[in-house]
Structure 1
């Protein structure tokens, strides 16, 4: 039994001793009672919360559900273990760094996996594994009452010019480009897709907003990257609706949605991941059966012996939150440091 299991079982025993039930209701996104704990990406927090509500813990210790996923934003710190709070990680990079810090400082014992809407950027080690589980895509959102909402959208070249501030107007509207907060996987991915580095951002990009929050677009000149899956889930009533008055724009003439669903052929499409310690996967130095069960699909030359990650079996849940499914769900070939 690992340290996390002992701590959680002790917490469960304490709750029972006080006459409390750990099994009466599902844990919320900010109340840790489950076996494996994740933090990080705003983009995937809701779908991972949803998956956590349907994936069961076979031994019912300390809860009958396996995955606990803390929201990227909220009130106060995150306390994943008894009396050991950490600053709430907001975004993919912050979540990955929290996981790395947990591995380096064993006294923390807090984070088991990180949600990430970006792939790795540092291949100096193989300490972490990026495990894909769904498909998303990113476009830009504009206000519905703006002349930017013209059903034509933007080209990649235009978006590059907008975010380097060499293009300052569009359809006679003064542009006021916005980006998600630093450390956001969506920010990293979007800038990569339009071919702009952080150093190349123009001075007109002077506002940062919480990612996928359309209520932050208050001016007709505002334009910001937006997860198509998040937009579908928000406007469909599956998650808290933050889209405000925004609409999604085409990019390079391609529609972001087809029949209300994610267009997986959209030019800025991406896999989204759960990042776990490589040592805790199948064949690692300290395999964790719960992490493997949740996230890792294990192929075998004998199909009868192959296993599918619990998260990969929940295709209906993944699609309900606006994401597309991926054939490489549960693949553990991508390894890096951060």
Structure 2
């Protein structure tokens, strides 16, 4: 059951009724030693104890798991028992040992290094790629970007742990001046401010709340480990920013104790005059003998804060190839999906550790308290990739996208995001493919106009989109046949175009010989057309390209067909006198004809095997004058020698009598 904000009284009642306040303090790191779990978290010591309990590393607390059984492994910010800040952890069986990340900022940097493969904590450190899955963080992003998603987990507040009655009531202005070094005495008491270690989320949040930063805080203020009052609040006038949730959990005996000795010696959380108020607000109250949070302090915009579990954005994106369902199931609440950390049992544990449950536990929506941030660390190029070179090829109710990688820039490309939207702008499909991919096909599409986009991504996020907009249609197949044809006769190409999905082809067909268009035609109702070509195509075998231009439902298609043009077969006729005087020269007219063309070239008159006259055709005719013939009968024939387009041919014999 999802809840809205719990009041302090309800939290206290749930804690006591559930017996959680009497459970053993949550132990640190996965237990027993050498235990490894899938979802590894490091970072903030503000939320480490509650995450340890939710991991099941304490008697009385059931572990939160994904439906697959994957559980949480939460490693403390400092070494349990010793408090060492230089100890190492090993988070995977067979994995490397590396320095324990201390605090929110260092947790987020370690998560970044686990993604990029860079060395932690610096260039002389250890490569920890894949060794961390999430970071505990008591503050929001310190860099812009979308690589990391800050998932709100609960509501906490930052108070001020103090010792001495003079510091019971403090204002924001007083805190500013104390930590700036300009106010050293309050109500006659010399103050001794302390500040958590560098990288602490509480340190960063507190300084921002009082209008200071690491560069403006008094440099003489000593640094202490976050949320450990026993070492920090030891003398009258001491004060240090402190997670209210952690103070409650430690003093209720739920979390490992670093503060009860200080509290027994007089340490407490000061009442703070919140901006705009005339009086001071206590951070906590007591119910049934236990400390509980006051909502009015937790919900204050200056000192109240969300605490987060930080995960790689791509790991909780179900469309990404890097999607981690176990991480998603444990941390994300989205629509009807409720995070395992937002279950009723989990929120009872969260309340037991001094935090206030909120309805947005697990939200990944920035309008509901989620935040986005970039990779953390100083060595990363924040650029996303450039635009891929994109080519789209429509297919049968499909479109194939092919691309080449953008020019290298910043971090390497890790994947490509391919998206298809309809004419109305609605997303039809999204696909994430590896960096090695160079193409993807969307298939089974309805006819219509679509826009496809491809963007390269690196750890910083997706880069510039390359887009294509066009129509998706069915496929067509073009077939053509052509018979061998003599020069001068009209060659014909029979074309049939068929469409898939029972679609009858319509539209125009074009025939080209090389780059020259030699014929066009329009398909009939059966998808067929016979196209007549010029009867003067060159005598040769032509490879014609037959192209169908497509229709509103069918894509274009083409084929080739071989058309052989042969030489024409001529007819040779002769007109000659029957008799001629042996003193005269006879004239013979030869006519050469062929279908569709007027032959040109040479004609010879043979008497036996001897050429006795030669002439050149003009308009298919030539008149030749023969030499004088001796008395007697002379049998002759005309011979046409042919041309580049007409075959050679002998005429029939004819006889002239010379007298």
Q: With structure 1 as the length reference, what TM-score do the two structures score?
A: 0.84
For residue 37 of structure 1, the aligned residue among 18, 37, 40 is 40
Return 5+ residue gaps in structure 2 as ranges: 1-28, 57-62, 119-126, 274-279, 366-370, 377-659
Which structure's residues are more often strand, by fraction? Answer: 2
CA separation of 1:30/1:157 partners in 2, compared to 1, >3 Å: closer, same or farther?
Answer: farther
Distance in 2 separating the partners of 1:41 and 1:73:
10
Distance in 1 separating the partners of 2:166 and 2:32:
36
Distance in 1 separating the partners of 2:32 and 2:161:
27
Instruction: Identify the residue that residue 104 of structure 1 maps to in structure 2.
Output: 116
Q: Tell me, what secondary structure is at the counterpart of 1:265? A: helix
Instruction: Identify the residue that residue 193 of structure 2 maps to in structure 1.
Output: 177
What does the per-residue CA deviation read over 1:252-281, in whole Å, with 9 as the maximum and x for residues that have no partner?
Answer: 001101333112321301000000000001
Distance in 2 separating the partners of 1:331 and 1:142:
35
CA separation of 1:31/1:221 partners in 2, compared to 1, >3 Å: closer, same or farther?
Answer: farther
The reply on whether 1:51 has 2:88 as its aligned counterpart is: no
Distance in 1 separating the partners of 2:236 and 2:226:
18
Q: With structure 2 as the length reference, what TM-score do the two structures score?
A: 0.44
1:118-133 to 2 correspondences below 5 Å: 118-123=139-144, 125-133=145-153
1:1-338 to 2 correspondences below 5 Å: 27-28=30-31, 31-53=34-56, 54-60=63-69, 66-74=71-79, 76-81=87-92, 82-105=94-117, 108-123=129-144, 125-143=145-163, 146-150=164-168, 153-205=169-221, 207-216=222-231, 217-243=233-259, 244-245=261-262, 246-252=267-273, 253-259=280-286, 260-266=291-297, 267=300, 268-285=303-320, 286-299=322-335, 306-313=336-343, 314-333=346-365, 334-337=371-374, 338=376
Larger radius of gyration: 2
Q: How many residues align?
A: 297
How many angstroms does 1:165 deviate by? 1.1
CA separation of 1:284/1:275 partners in 2, compared to 1, >3 Å: closer, same or farther?
Answer: farther
Return 5+ residue gaps in structure 1 as ranges: 1-25, 300-305
How many angstroms does 1:219 deviate by? 1.9
How many angstroms does 1:161 deviate by? 0.7
How many angstroms does 1:331 deviate by? 1.0
Instruction: Identify the residue that residue 656 of structure 2 maps to in structure 1.
Output: none
Contact kept, 8 Å, 1:142 with 1:148, in 2: the verdict is: no
Distance in 2 separating the partners of 1:195 and 1:87:
32
What does the per-residue CA deviation read over 1:307-337, in whole Å, with 9 as the maximum and x for residues that have no partner?
Answer: 1000011110100111100121111132111
Contact kept, 8 Å, 1:135 with 1:270, in 2: the verdict is: yes
- Higher mean displacement: 103-112 or 93-102: 103-112
Q: Tell me, what secondary structure is at the counterpart of 2:151? A: strand
RMSD: 1.8
Contact kept, 8 Å, 2:157 with 2:305, in 1: the verdict is: yes
